[in-house]
Amino acid sequence: MGHSFTIRPFCAIFAALAALAPSAQAAERVTLRNGFEMRCDHHAPVESRVRLYLSAGEDNYIEFRPEEIATVEMVPDPPAEPKSAGTAPATQAAAGPKAGSNSISQASRDATLSPADLHEILARAGHDHNLDVDLLASLVKAESGGNARAESRAGARGLMQLMPGTAKTLGVEDSFKPDQNVRGGSTYLDALLTRYHDNLALALAAYNAGPEAVDKYHGIPPYHETRTYVAWVIHEFNRRVLAREAETRKAARALGLQVAQDAPTKGKAIR
């Protein structure tokens, strides 16, 4: 029987954001209203949203509502973070899957499942591990973009970007087979949530950087990639949950029904 946990949707106030000019020489530290911090290269208001650009270009960004952000500070470029994926010793196998969303080879980008097939696989894994299917979908989107043949430069493979050592430990024979990959990745995420007492942010940080890094820093490691990863997955998860609940309420109103409360799972947003 799985444990239930809750996370808050991002909600914040950020009155002076549009007045802050981006800098090409320094990164920006963004603090969300819920206390989470992340770094970006620069930011810019776009219509009614604020885009936090994760690199100097304009293609890689996360969007927030202005009221979701508390402060922005200019900071020097962070020091290079340790890269343990791919060339790590045997202990890296326990560090688990690595984020592959920005390191997937171009040759494998077209190997995607149909949305219906992917949803069925995620729903089955979510049921087996009491994990919210939208949490798994958010993680898959961050890791591989739904590309079952994705392979990162570090060697992480498949939908949930399993490192070979981790896959072997989890009993995954072929990480490029979607059902095996999702089963292994969901098992690993479930174990991390149990290890960190259903703290989703810590579990995601461990999924990205390894539990050793989370334990070393007694929290989310101070790695730009990891902090951005955790913020993005939680933001995407909350977006999906809110959209799902809005659709449920809309359908219920059309039928004149009362919306039932969802059963607790590992991944339920609250207001």
Supply the residues annotated as catalytic.
143
DSSP string, the chain: -PPPEEEPPP----TTGGGSPP-SSSEEEEEETTS-EEEESEEEEETTEEEEESSSSSSSEEEE-GGGEEEEEEEPPPPPPP--TTT--GGGGGG-----TTSB-GGGTT-B--HHHHHHHHHHHHHHHTB-HHHHHHHHHHHTTTBTT-BBTT--BTTTTB-HHHHHHTT-S-TTSHHHHHHHHHHHHHHHHHHTTT-HHHHHHHHHH-HHHHHHHTSS-S-HHHHHHHHHHHHHHHHHHHHHHHHHHHHHHHHT-PPPPPPP-EEEE--
